[in-house]
Amino acid sequence: MKPLQVGLLGIGTVGSGTFAVLQRNREEIRRRAGRAIEIRCVADLDVARARALVGETVPVLADARAVIADPEVDVVVELIGGYGIARTLVLEAIAAGKHVVTANKALLAVHGTEIFAAARERGVVVAFEAAVAGGIPIIKALREGLTANRIEWIAGIINGTTNFILSEMRSKGLDFDVVLKEAQRLGYAEADPTFDIEGVDAAHKATIMSAIAFGIPVQFERAHVEGITQLQAVDIRYAEQLGYRIKLLGIARRREAGIELRVHPTLVPATRLIASVEGAMNAVVVQGDAVGTTLYYGKGAGSEPTASAVIADLVDLARLGTADPAHRVPHLAFQPGELAATPILPIDEVFTAFYLRLRVADQAGVLAQVTALLAAQGISIDALLQRESAEGENQTDVIILTHDTVEGRMREAIARMQDLPTVLAPIVSLRKEELA
């Protein structure tokens, strides 16, 4: 059978890994795919650097549109990134009748509805396994392996930079700013790490997973997003003493009134496997009604791990042949006409438990006042810890873990507690998930 001809747009970290793995494992890949997969041409603005990577056997072009226009190219692999030119080129490739493989989670989280509709109209496939969790095959698991299940919830460590920072803060007792500089020095964090540390990257990925899990359109603009920049080492230490670890989680949960879609630092019981995921690794937990709890773990970024996912998509496309487009696996798992208009819940309606840290005057009656205000909002206490404050004499830190409650009630309780004259500093609140 004629080899599948691939046009590669961008040959940076993931592109070079894709080229290298395809070259190294070409025979193994051919045996799996039923036909060879070949890079026909590469487009990159830095032609000299690209040519040094691919050698003289593959044409290197400065113009991505020349790759799209090549009639011999069957699949366009977009590895440019971002919302701008990448969106334009993907839509042009679809219009030209090319299948598309992309690792661009930002593009799909924001413009996925438009892109998938264009692909359906043209009868081509947009494949994106590499867009979420790098080398972990979580998209295929959600879209195909768990298709018999009603997915109840997903919780994932889906950003390696933040997980590395939190792991270092926990193990070394250092503050965020110190660890961020070290992460940048080691290459785990970009010079501008905003998308990672503010939770935006994780929210892009959580948005895509929620759409596949629950059969809803991608709705990044409705996700609640918090990063780790305000997290303090003292709270990581107190969480540890209570039997929890703090992870930046992307959470998508089905509720009767709608879908929770949120990214934020979260206390997780230390006994959960996901709590033990350290360094730059990723992990995703999926709860299905039939299968129960499943865990997917591995490298969430990097040249060859992400290339592994790109090539898995290429193998799927190589197997398609002349398959009827109406009988392909839908982009978002559910048939296009079956996507639900289930609302994404506002954060005030989220149902979760909380960690609270209050710095209070060390005097009689303070704790009674605090617990009375929580009780007035119908919030019950799960655990309580009191520790001498490092900030000065006659002060103490009161740490409270609550049972599940509606977030709006907790916000009201925090506002009232903050008004107490015995509360001496802004109250720290973090969400807690048992993941049971």
Which residues are bridge partners to 156 per DSSP?
250, 284
Each residue's pLDDT tens digit, 365-407:
999 999 999 999 999 999 999 998 877 778 999 999 999 999 9
Each residue's pLDDT tens digit, 82-132:
989 999 999 999 999 999 999 999 999 999 999 999 999 999 999 999 999
With cut-offs at 50, 70 and 90, classify the pLDDT of residue 275.
very high
Each residue's pLDDT tens digit, 166-197:
999 999 999 999 999 999 998 889 999 999 99
Give the amino acid at 297: Y
Dist. CA 60–CA 10, nearest whole Å = 10
User: How many CB atoms are closer than 10 A to CB 68?
Assistant: 21
Residue tagged active-site, from 98, 205, 247, 299:
205
Which residues are bridge partners to 132 per DSSP?
none
**Three-state SS at 56:** coil
Q: Tokens 């903050």: give the residue.
A: 418
User: How many CB atoms are closer than 10 A to CB 39?
Assistant: 20
Q: What is the pLDDT of residue 323?
A: 62
**Residue 388 has which token pair?**
């001498």
Dist. CA 126–CA 112, nearest whole Å = 10
**Residue 345 has which token pair?**
């819940």
Dist. CA 114–CA 143, nearest whole Å = 19
With cut-offs at 50, 70 and 90, classify the pLDDT of residue 333.
confident
Each residue's pLDDT tens digit, 406-426:
999 999 999 999 999 999 999
Dist. CA 163–CA 201, nearest whole Å = 13
With cut-offs at 50, 70 and 90, classify the pLDDT of residue 335.
confident
Which residue in 402, 390, 395 sits closest to 366, CA to CA? 395
Q: What is the pLDDT of residue 294?
A: 97
Q: What is the pLDDT of residue 166?
A: 97
> Has residue 343 got a pLDDT over 70?
yes
Each residue's pLDDT tens digit, 209-256:
999 999 999 999 999 999 999 999 999 999 999 999 999 999 999 999
Average pLDDT, stretch 257-268? 98
Which residue in 331, 330, 294 sits closest to 435, CA to CA? 294
Q: What is the pLDDT of residue 322?
A: 55
7-21, 89-103, 138-152, 390-404, range with the lowest pLDDT? 390-404
Domains of the chain, start order: 4-135+303-338 (3.40.50.720), 138-299 (3.30.360.10), 348-432 (3.30.70.260)
State the average pLDDT for the chain: 95
With cut-offs at 50, 70 and 90, classify the pLDDT of residue 7.
very high
139-to-16, 210, 214 alpha-carbon distances in Å: 23, 11, 13
Q: Considering only residues 36 and 388, tell me which one the structure prediction assigns the higher pLDDT.
A: 36
Dist. CA 218–CA 222, nearest whole Å = 9
**How distant is the alpha carbon of residue 267 from its chain centre?**
17
Give the amino acid at 91: L
Average pLDDT, stretch 127-149? 96
Give the amino acid at 8: L
Predicted TM-score (pTM) of this structure = 0.95
Specify whether 205 is catalytic. Answer: yes
Cβ pair 102, 126 in contact under 8 A = yes
Cβ pair 354, 401 in contact under 8 A = yes
Element housing 202 (H / E): helix 200-214
124-128, 209-213, 325-329, 342-346, range with the lowest pLDDT? 325-329
> Has residue 321 got a pLDDT over 70?
no
Average pLDDT, stretch 284-296? 98
Average pLDDT, stretch 281-285? 97
Give 55's contacts (C-beta < 8 A, 6+ positions apart): none
Give the amino acid at 298: G
**DSSP for residue 145:** I
Each residue's pLDDT tens digit, 46-80:
999 999 999 988 999 999 999 999 999 999 999 99
